[in-house]
Chains A and B, each alone.
Chain A
């Protein structure tokens, strides 16, 4: 399994990397904004993308829309502090496969990844 982590916070990327490595996922790429995420998904097929919402250059929600417009159905999990119901609905309508609100327990991220990829626990 290969995972793309998209977050402008180096701290959050490290937290997510630690969570993934704790269950043996080591094929991990990082992107710092939405544009980098779009570029990365055009260049490589990922098992899942973990996408922040608020980032410079391009928001995560806009990156998600561009990824879907390009016909890429890679599972995308929004991982964000945006907890308002309207935000969750907006993301799901844009094609997000799941939604995790920060703060989160590392095991919650792993469970969501397993859910959207169909990976065995």
Chain B
């Protein structure tokens, strides 16, 4: 997976924050998700892509960040991790992946499709990635709190070895 493939997703995050959350998300350095990373204690929003662009995108939010984001999005008081928060996190990853999909699809005849987003809430679980996939992890910081964007995709071009 080429690092430049993450750029549309990063742009998607930046655009989402500046438009709908009225603040900026500052990107950190890209890393690779390791299988021995510590268990997650956060909210994970997952969405899949299929078609000419295939892969998976996750956004990982600490609980406080998720509640702050949901409050900003919905304008309502959020004091617990309820369904509103889960729905908001699902919509976050849906919008980010949708924006990226459009950019990755620009030269494709068969547009990629998004799956329905899924949200995981819990403690001490580990997301195990297939050994053949590479997951890039991009940490962000924002006035609403830190979060991570993790992306693993391949395109028809990448499979053909074309840049």
Contacts and interface: CB of A to CB of B under 8 A. Distances in A.
A10 B15 contact: no
A15 B74 CA distance: 6
A103 B95 contact: yes
Main secondary structure of the interface of A (DSSP, over half): mixed
B48 interface: no
6 contacts: A11-B90, A81-B98, A102-B99, A103-B95, A105-B20, A106-B20
Given A81-B94, A103-B95, A18 B75 contact: yes
Interface string B86-122: 0110110011011101110110000100100000000
B101 to A, nearest CB: 8
A83 B101 CA distance: 8
A62 interface: no
B105 A84 contact: yes
Interface of A: 9-12, 14-15, 18, 54, 80-84, 86-87, 101-106, 108
A3 B95 CA distance: 23
A53 to B, nearest CB: 9
B7 to A, nearest CB: 15
Interface of B: 15-16, 19-20, 73-76, 84, 87-88, 90-91, 94-95, 97-99, 101-103, 105-106, 111, 114
B15 A103 contact: yes
Contact of A103 (B19, B105, B114): B19
Contact of A81 (B84, B90, B95): B95
Nearest to A86: B111
Given A9-B87, A14-B74, A101-B102, 13 more contacts: A9-B90, A14-B76, A81-B94, A81-B99, A81-B102, A81-B114, A82-B102, A83-B103, A84-B106, A101-B99, A102-B98, A103-B15, A106-B20
Contact of B20 (A9, A82, A86, A104): A104
A103 B99 contact: yes
B20 A15 contact: yes
- Which 10 pairs across A and B sit closest by C-beta, in order of nearness? A81-B98, A83-B102, A11-B91, A103-B19, A103-B16, A11-B87, A103-B20, A11-B88, A105-B19, A102-B95
B103 to A, nearest CB: 8
A10 B87 contact: yes
